Structure 1
């Protein structure tokens, strides 16, 4: 290698080092961390306000092009930016990673060096060093020996060498910010891991049916192992409790987890805010419907017909079906129901009201006796797996512990005896007034000891 090549290499390395130092300086800048946190909070709020994971039709109906919400928020705007699934978009995950990188860099370049500096103690050997302390006093009484028990009584750890003394307490307050940063980083890691490995699904299952999770709405690229394959769920029964005035009080689903051989592995009756959890998958009770109706015509075998939800343009929920009254399907009636306990109404082919009927009742029509045995309810389940939740909870616990630790004041006191003069001073990083009162109390105790000695001599 020539001298010129060596010089060029050195210059390149120097430029790279300067660039790296500049990058670290930008990343560790507190202003960048605050900006990133505000941006993350802003988009998190948007993910709460804008409904997540809905269909294209939903966004087209609720966020039309004209008139646009606030003049620019339309369904196209939402879909292009991914605001319909904010928390799993590449740019939101990138913001989390960048924020985590900034916190990590700040921890290693600022917080940890500050902790190391706080652990190292240094004695003041000259009286002029006390002049730089905000709180200091020059006394004609006292000594390191007399000061030592006063400090120990107040929880200080004391270091003494000859006529100089250093004491500190609350070093845990310096550890607190590091714990806070670690908690935030764990929360971010848990959120990212949950996004990559979790999934969200919805199922509408009729009472008595068995199902496996199929209707996946959202899933991360690593979510496949979380989706149940070797076990299924059976809806043993679905029912609704009503209030005396006919309003829905609560709806319930009796669920059983079964394996491939049909053996029951777990069982629980779920309702709103009381889900079933099994192998990291949670089944929430979120909706209900009418899946079908069981009918009998004259003395025919009992058969079940499906019921579909009707479009009422937002004026309540109705389900309907068509029941043939002849074997060649040339005639039939329409059955309309609004819930699982109320009255059902029957219409003929011309749309004329024939009558009303309740479960277990029969009605004559088209020359036959039509008996409505029962309505079959269906349960609406939201199914979610988020492996990042335990990590997030652990991060929050660590974060809370770090916040509490951060409130502990890191207080330091120096003392020096030079001849007949005794110098004492100190500083703290918070609770300045309390520390000032404590230091004044220590000085007063030192003065009182001198007064006691004078009285004793007299």
Structure 2
């Protein structure tokens, strides 16, 4: 029995809570400083073989899923649960205790108290003071005692459970994180323009994950600063199931696409040496889009057109102008420059050929499924509510002891008050209320 009490006391102790919270905070710094979920070779190249092996033993590359980090989280959860169970009965008694059962002598010893007299008898004075308290936002109750009448009014008794709301919120967040870790995934995919996929690859795993639907990159655009640095970029994605288009959306950084609980984030891109060339023949308005490698010839046999990208100008990976060679039927071949992503109209016999060309890109998408995220959001909301209640709402109590004065015709009044927190603020409120009750 003694051992059981000691174990219970250990898990209910504040010292364990401080130890686990400090340990989690300090070890989280490690997970921030040392990049997570990199290939093993990266740690060997960056830190050396001995340090990389030490990291593997302690699961540092996946620290937040390591055995020792999960043990710390388990200790914190056990501490919160047992601490709450151990202390809640006392808190409940403080919330539900009959405050009218207080002994009158105890009121005389309270720090906050004021005394005055009213000329009316005790019964009439009790009615007047009860009405004044109700008007001030208090709900008084009364009890007849041997020496007179005792009034009590309280506010914010429920605020004592604020700390338990915080405890519950942490547990809810942990449950949401566990659900997300077990049933969810995080991965990535590099998707070229015009191509689609039904699978992505999870971080630190070579096994593909089936999405259950098809995601297509219709197009990718990127804007640059004058110095050639990328300014912003976006992808147009289409979701298809059984060959049918379900959803189309343009995504940018911080503006993802979500479908069936799976979210696609715009994270990176890759420039290719291939080009996307669009050809439209007027007046028939016959058109087709081609993907063509650099300096290779391609043919559109139905329209007897041959063409190719023979040169390109740009800065770094960025292409600004594209030189195209084209021959239509028996017409002489021609070469012309096209601004990247812009059109050029080429006359050919009795037709006009509109040609546009752009550099081809692949969009880099981070893909995440986290079915526990709503529990995490709920836990965060509960935590904010619990912290607000714990720090800014107090359990305020007022007692009014009414006794006949020495002459027997008037009433001697003792007002006493107490608050479990924010004593200075309550003292000011107490003084204002006393002045109001004096009339």
Q: Is this contact kept in 2: 1:121–1:166, CA < 8 A?
A: no
Partner residue, 2:324: 360
Shift of 1:336: 12
Q: 1:441-456 counterparts in 2 under 5 A?
A: 441-445=432-436, 448=438
Residue by residue, what CA displacement relative to the aligned partner does 1:415-447 show, whole Å, maximum 9, x if unpaired? 32344243331210122123223333344455x
Q: Is this contact kept in 2: 1:198–1:385, CA < 8 A?
A: yes
Shift of 1:409: 1.6
- Structure 1 pair 342/131, CA: closer, same or farther in 2 (3 Å)? same
Q: Secondary structure at the match of 2:179?
A: helix
Distance 2:225 2:314 in 1: 22
Distance 1:252 1:415 in 2: 69
| In the alignment, structure 1 residue 199 sits paired with structure 2 residue 185 | yes
| In the alignment, structure 1 residue 49 sits paired with structure 2 residue 33 | yes
Partner residue, 1:79: 56
Among 380, 385, 399, the alignment partner of 2:383 is 399
- Which sections of structure 2, spanning at least 5 residues, go unmatched? 275-291, 301-312, 327-334, 338-356, 406-411
Matched length: 370
Distance 1:437 1:279 in 2: 55
Q: Is this contact kept in 1: 2:95–2:158, CA < 8 A?
A: no
Q: Is this contact kept in 2: 1:200–1:218, CA < 8 A?
A: no
- Structure 1 pair 128/282, CA: closer, same or farther in 2 (3 Å)? same
Shift of 1:218: 5.0
Distance 1:38 1:77 in 2: 23
Residue by residue, what CA displacement relative to the aligned partner does 1:356-397 show, whole Å, maximum 9, x if unpaired? xx45369xxxxxxx9998643211111111122111111111
Q: Is this contact kept in 2: 1:295–1:374, CA < 8 A?
A: no
Among 216, 220, 230, the alignment partner of 1:234 is 216
Partner residue, 1:89: 66
Among 250, 267, 270, the alignment partner of 1:289 is 270
Q: Is this contact kept in 1: 2:200–2:211, CA < 8 A?
A: no
Distance 2:243 2:60 in 1: 41
The normalised TM-score by structure 2 is: 0.74
Among 111, 116, 120, the alignment partner of 2:97 is 120
Deviates more, 1:82-91 or 1:130-139: 130-139
Shift of 1:103: 1.3
CA RMSD in angstroms comes to 3.5
Q: Is this contact kept in 2: 1:112–1:178, CA < 8 A?
A: no
Shift of 1:233: 0.8
Shift of 1:301: 4.7
Q: 1:28-427 counterparts in 2 under 5 A?
A: 28-64=12-48, 74-111=51-88, 113-124=90-101, 126-141=103-118, 144-162=126-144, 163-218=149-204, 227-259=209-241, 261-293=242-274, 294-295=292-293, 301=299, 338-341=316-319, 358-360=322-324, 375-406=359-390, 407-420=392-405, 421-427=412-418
- Which sections of structure 1, spanning at least 5 residues, go unmatched? 1-14, 67-73, 303-334, 344-357, 363-369, 450-458
Shift of 1:277: 1.0
Q: Is this contact kept in 2: 1:240–1:250, CA < 8 A?
A: yes
- Structure 1 pair 234/443, CA: closer, same or farther in 2 (3 Å)? closer
Distance 2:426 2:261 in 1: 50
The normalised TM-score by structure 1 is: 0.71
Q: Is this contact kept in 2: 1:254–1:269, CA < 8 A?
A: yes
Q: Is this contact kept in 2: 1:270–1:284, CA < 8 A?
A: yes
Distance 1:255 1:31 in 2: 52
Shift of 1:125: 5.9
Shift of 1:250: 1.8
- Structure 1 pair 371/32, CA: closer, same or farther in 2 (3 Å)? farther
Shift of 1:341: 1.1
Q: Is this contact kept in 2: 1:124–1:164, CA < 8 A?
A: no
Distance 2:66 2:319 in 1: 44
- Structure 1 pair 151/290, CA: closer, same or farther in 2 (3 Å)? same
- Structure 1 pair 111/154, CA: closer, same or farther in 2 (3 Å)? farther
Q: Is this contact kept in 1: 2:228–2:315, CA < 8 A?
A: no
Shift of 1:288: 1.3
Shift of 1:160: 0.6
Partner residue, 2:304: none
- Flag the structure with higher strand content: 2
Partner residue, 1:308: none
- Structure 1 pair 296/123, CA: closer, same or farther in 2 (3 Å)? closer
